[in-house]
């Protein structure tokens, strides 16, 4: 993608502050955000696969203290302390951020359209 979603939203806000935004432009930004949302979901799915691989490796290990297979709860704690899990957490945050931006953009668009209709469609 040409810009990440944070830059895209920042550019939108800069244009909004200058008064150079119309409902059509907001719709374009929403469409671009939707593309970022789709890509973020793909990233999350890939992260989830990597985390599941880590879980499987950790569960197959032997606990040094007991000589038995690591308990699932302990495996989960150990797996959460990996780069893969941190990447998955970041991917989830990105999805939540994009959802919030899309909702904010929809509200902006609705407000602009409402203002336009009150002005007699000028």
Mean pLDDT, each 10-residue run in order, the chain (122 residues): 83 88 92 97 96 90 86 87 96 97 95 75 52
**Structure token digits, residue 13:** 């806000």
Spatial separation of the C-alpha atoms in residues 14 and 29, rounded to whole Å: 13
Nearest to 101 by CA among 14, 2, 6, 27: 6
* CB atoms near residue 114 (< 10 Å): 11
- Helix, strand and coil percent figures for the chain, each rounded to 5: 80, 0, 20
User: Taking the model in full, what pTM does it have?
Assistant: 0.81
CA–CA dist 22, 15 (Å, integer): 10
């Amino acid at each position: 993608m040409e810009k990440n979603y944070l830059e895209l939203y920042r550019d939108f806000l800069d244009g909004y502050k200058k008064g150079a935004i119309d409902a059509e432009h907001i719709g374009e930004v929403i469409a671009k955000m939707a593309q970022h949302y789709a890509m973020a979901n793909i990233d999350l799915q890939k992260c989830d696969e990597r985390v599941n691989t880590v879980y499987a490796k950790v569960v197959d290990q032997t606990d040094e203290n007991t000589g038995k297979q690591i308990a699932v709860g302990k495996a989960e704690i150990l797996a959460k302390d990996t780069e893969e899990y941190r990447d998955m957490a970041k991917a989830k945050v990105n999805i939540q951020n994009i959802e919030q931006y899309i909702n904010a953009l929809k509200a902006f668009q609705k407000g602009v359209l409402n203002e336009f209709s009150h002005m007699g469609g000028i």
